[in-house]
Structures are given as structure tokens and as C-alpha cells.
Amino acid sequence: MEISYKEYYNKVLGAWIGRVAGDFVGIPVELRSYENIKEKYGDISVYPEPIDLNHVNDDEMYEIIALIALEKYGIEITAEQIAQEWVSLLNREDYVFTAEKIALNNLKAGIMPPKSGILNNFYYDFIGAQMRADIWELITPGCSDLAKSYAEIDGSISHDRIGIEGEVFIAVLISQAFFESDIRYNIDSALQYLPSEKESLYTQMVKKGIKIYEQNPNDFRAARKILIREFWIDEMVEKVLISSLVFPIERRILLNTRLGGIHVLPNIGIIILSLLYGAQDKQDPFGKSICVAAMMGYDTDCNCGNIGTILGVQLGAKKIPSKWKDPLQDSFSTYVKGYEKWKISELSQRITEMGVKVIQNKSNNIVRFNK
């Protein structure tokens, strides 16, 4: 596979525009009830609320830290090196949540990965690792094995089992999108990098999302109803509890609170449905997929952000409609110490340069840069 440096940068830029745009679509409806979203916003087709460019979303902080760590330690980076940068650079601990919060406390106590992701961690299979997968596939275009390896390293800091599988799946999915535009093909191919359906609840949920879409190809709201019902009422939650690394009673209480909406399983189901329904829109599959995910609820900023990256890579920045790009004004904000303000274009340039190093040194000539 070959790609020019110019086109590689265009796709990385598209990914990061998609990441930030998706976040801003999802933020206003995050963890709101499905009914409330429908009543207040109806059929979402634009940003639900005006964009505040000073707003900070926690979703991007870990990807920024991963890039800084790569620039500091090199492409043979370890989980412990990334974790050390968490401790140094996470500027606002009130913006560190669930699995990442517990992992950070473990790291500060000298407990390193993979134990940092497991010890006292009720959230090891929540959405956080999947949320921050994007950086790894952006530096491994077309190299799914490399994307998986980096995702597993990063995921082990704060997650385990299906929590890490979520990061692997999204990383591989986006890595493939550099060279393949058929989203269904990419979903099926990325499944090959996960454990079998018999071994993995995550694999089961991805396939459940595909099946529900195929049975309801014209009604995403009906599909969403089935997906959520089958997660909570079917055997899925019981399987989550049985496979738990911690006490099932505490886990049952946790899953039945508002925080249950950030478990990785229903959210990957929503991502799958949103990508498949969005692909039906030949004019704007990017916007349609993000908006469907927002209307479905749960952890909408994470889901819309991941979808934005997937389709941003697939389209490249030049083909993303202006209504999604222009309001961002090439900027976003973080709470990473010393890196609070960014231009999307400059960040994309740094990611591209890191990706060139990875491809030239680790791809075994699977991907080459042409003129």
C-alpha cells in the first residue's frame, strides 16, 4: 500500500477535525436520557448547541499525552512511559474520571501497568480506553497489527479485558480506513483482531449491532431500542457481572446508576449502528453518522468523537463538509499541562511526522510513502 505524505497529512487532519467536531456534537447530550434528547433536539443535523472553543473535553487529553510521550521516548514506547506522562501532565484531576481516575491514583502510589488498570478498578471495562484509541491508528495507517499492539500497551494503564478490546477494535478500524472506504468491510476486518464471539462479550456486541441493523435497515430509533433492551434485559449484563474482576454486588449497583451509560458494550453497539446507518447518506455520511450517535444517547461525546475520527480518516479533511469544519476555527483546548491551546492543523502535522517514523521503522514495508 502506498500513500503520499500530503494525503497522509490530509487524512490525519480529517481525523482530528472529525474527533473535535464529534465531541462538540456529543457534549450537549452526553448521558442525557434518550427521551430528553429527542424532545429537546429532535432530529439532529447540525451542532446541537453553539460551540465554545474554550470548552475542554477530557476525551482528547490522553491522546495529546500519548503523542508527547512518543516524541519524548520514541516509537518503542512502553505502558509505563505513557503512564509517567499521565502523572506529569494531567493538569486538572477533576477532569479525570472512572477508570482513568483509579489508574492515576494507582500510578501515584507507584503501581505500574498492567496492575494500575486492575487494582480496585470497578471501571476496567468502561469506555475510557476505547475513547482514547484514535492516536494509535493515526500513526499506523494500514498497519493493523501495529495499531493493535500500541492500543494494548495504552489500554493496560487503566483497563483490562473487554475494556482493552474496545481500544484495539477502534484502533484497527481507523487504521484500515486510510486505505478502505467500505465501512462494513472495515468493521468485519477489525473483528478479526478480537477474540472469538464465544470468548468475548465485546465481539458479541459488535455482531449484535450488525445483526440489529440488518433486521432494521430503515429505522435507527427502532434499532436503538432493541440494542439497549437486549443489553440490559438479555443475558449481557449478567455476563458482565459473572466475568467481573471485582465483587459482583458493587458492579451491579454501578451498572444500575447513571454511570452504567459509559460501559463499553452498549456504546460500541451504538457506534456500529451509527456507522452503518450513516453510510446510507451518500451526501454526508460523516455528519449523518455523528448525528445518529448523538440522538441515540449514552456516552455521546466519546462515541461521536470516535466516529468522527473513523470517517475523518476515510474522507480526509478536504471532503468534510464546511458546516462541520468551519465553526472549529482550527482550534481546541485541553487541560494537559503546558499544552492547553492547540491548532488542529499543527497537532495533525506532529502526528503525521510521528506516523512517518513508525511506518519507516516498524511497518515491514506494508505501507510506503510515494511522491
- Taking only the tens place, the pLDDT of each residue in 241-252 is 777 777 677 777
- Max distance between CA atoms of the chain, in angstroms, equals 59
d(CA 285, CA 293): 12
pLDDT digits (tens, 9 = 90+) for 345-364: 999 999 999 999 999 999 88
Contacts of 129 (CB under 8 A, 6+ apart): 99, 151, 154, 155, 158, 159, 163, 164, 166, 167, 264
Q: How many CA atoms lie within 13 A of 94 on its CB side?
A: 1
Please provide the DSSP assignment of 320-365 as one string: S-HHHHGGGTTEEE--BTT--EEEHHHHHHHHHHHHHHHHHHHSTT
pTM (predicted TM-score)? 0.96
Residue 368 main-chain phi, psi, to 5 deg: -130, 150
Is there a contact between 331 and 51 (Cβ–Cβ < 8 Å)? no
Report the amino acid identity of residue 157. Answer: I
d(CA 229, CA 192) in angstroms, rounded, equals 27
Q: How far apart are CA 304 and CA 289, in angstroms?
A: 8
pLDDT of residue 363: 84
Calculate the average pLDDT of the chain.
93
Alpha-carbon gap, residue 106 to 113, rounded angstroms: 9
Quote the radius of gyration of the chain (alpha carbons, Å): 19
Residue 65: pLDDT band (50, 70, 90) is very high
| Residue type for position 351 | I
Residue 147 Cα distances to 44, 165, 223, angstroms: 33, 12, 30
133 neighbors 306 (Cβ within 8 angstroms) = yes
- The answer for residues whose C-beta is within 8 angstroms of residue 5's C-beta and 6 or more apart is 352, 356, 369
Q: CA 265, 267, 269, 271 torsion: positive or negative?
A: negative
Question: Whose CA is closest to 124, among 161, 150, 91?
Answer: 161
Among 168-172, 205-209, 330-334, 366-370, name the one with the lowest average pLDDT: 366-370
User: pLDDT at residue 235 above 80?
Assistant: no
Q: Which H helix or E strand runs over 370?
A: strand 368-370
3-class DSSP state for residue 35? Answer: helix
Per-domain residue ranges for the chain?
A: 2-370
- pLDDT given at position 247: 67
Contact 70, 146 (CB under 8 A): no
Q: What is the pLDDT of residue 331?
A: 94
Run of H or E residues at 195:
none
Q: What is the secondary structure of 234-284 as a DSSP string?
A: SSHHHHHHHT-SS-HHHHHHHHTSGGGGGBHHHHHHHHHHHHHHHTT-SS-
- Res 26: pLDDT: 97
Would the pLDDT of 233 be above 70? Answer: no
pLDDT grade for 234, boundaries at 50, 70 and 90: low
Assigned fold of 2-370: ADP-ribosylglycohydrolase fold (1.10.4080)
Retrieve residue 129's grid coordinates: 480506553
Q: Is the peptide bond before 114 cis (omega within 30 degrees of 0)?
A: yes
Measure the CA–CA gap between 181 and 314, rounded to whole angstroms: 6
Is residue 228 classed as helix, strand or coil in its secondary structure?
helix
pLDDT digit string, tens, across residues 177-201: 999 999 999 999 999 999 999 999 9
